[in-house]
Amino acid sequence: MRIIQLSDLHVRANRAFAFNVADSAAALEKTVAHLAAMQPAPDCVVISGDIAEHGEAGAYELTAEILAGLAAPVYVLPGNHDSRENLLRILGAYCPADPEAAPHICYAIPCGHVRLVIIDSSRPDAHSGRLHAPVARWLEKTLAENGSTPALVFAHHPPFLSGMGLMDEPYDRPEELARILRGSPGARYCCGHLHRGLTTVWEGIPAVVCPPVVMHIELDLSPQGGDVFSLDAPGYLLHHVYDGRVNTHFCRVPGTFPHGGPYSFSNPPRPDAEA
Ligand SMILES: [Fe+2]
Ligand SMILES: [Fe+2]
């Protein structure tokens, strides 16, 4: 069983560049072409949020066009840049949200020897994440329903600090999330948002952060860190269910990509900037 995780696509309507410099539509197209040709084929693709840069309908329409190139089932969830409403309306085929958790986007998918458990950590108009009370109730109930099958829990935000300065905004109600996940043996937390690959054990729970498709944040562990990104080949994770475990591989899409930077999120390049 091969589960691909993509994160942080930051697609814009009309193929506009994210932060005026990242050709996110082209990066996603090359990523999709790579995954479509992968042998053995992936069993599914999970996209852990920040699909659209500004949550606009045109960005989701363009994303849907590009994702149509994948034969594998695709599952999506919202990040802080997304609009839940537009995501559900336009990418609803990739997002079988359980009405019990509405308006939050949560659902569970059986996947061989594991379960994909998708939860919504986003909140409107905020950069940071939260364990919403309805999501907490849904997650605890869902994990208990089939406790013997290990869960890969996908969300956008990490509930732990990374040390990357400006990216470290407090997650709301992390203790409750830890308590629920600890009650599910074998659970692994898989998120994005940091725009860097990272793995850790948080409160006894294995956790992994997916590298981005676009805008790789430069490693800077100072209080000012987290504001500088560069352009590079898209990253992704391959969660391989193998020999009774989940091995998570950190991967890069092969091929030729613009390389550029450093650029600043808080002071982005002018619209006419080129990589
Ligand atoms: Fe992002
Ligand atoms: Fe994010």
Write down the domain spans for the chain. Answer: 2-264
Its sign, for the CA torsion 145, 148, 149, 152, is: positive
- Give the 3-state secondary structure of residue 42: coil
Query: Could you tell me the distance, in angstroms and rounded to a whole number, from the CA of residue 160 to the centre of ligand 2?
Result: 14
DSSP letters for 162-182: -S-GGG-PPPBSHHHHHHHHH
User: What is the structure's pLDDT at 274?
Assistant: 56
Query: Could you tell me the distance, in angstroms and rounded to a whole number, from the CA of residue 34 to the centre of ligand 1?
Result: 21
User: What is the structure's pLDDT at 6?
Assistant: 98
Q: Of 147 and 44, which is predicted with more confidence? A: 44
Residues above pLDDT 70, as percent of the chain: 99
pLDDT digits (tens, 9 = 90+) for 22-37: 999 999 999 999 999 9
Per CATH, the number for 2-264 is: 3.60.21.10
Report the chain's mean pLDDT, rounded to a whole number. 96
Query: Could you tell me the distance, in angstroms and rounded to a whole number, from the CA of residue 7 to the centre of ligand 2?
Result: 9
As given in the structure block, the two tokens for residue 73 are 């089932």
Query: Could you tell me the distance, in angstroms and rounded to a whole number, from the CA of residue 118 to the centre of ligand 2?
Result: 16
Query: Could you tell me the distance, in angstroms and rounded to a whole number, from the CA of residue 127 to the centre of ligand 2?
Result: 7
- Give the 3-state secondary structure of residue 240: strand
Residues with CB in 5 Å of ion ligand 2: 50, 79-80, 193
pLDDT band at 148 (very low <50, low <70, confident <90, very high): confident
User: What is the structure's pLDDT at 275?
Assistant: 55
- Give the 3-state secondary structure of residue 45: strand
Query: Could you tell me the distance, in angstroms and rounded to a whole number, from the CA of residue 194 to the centre of ligand 2?
Result: 7
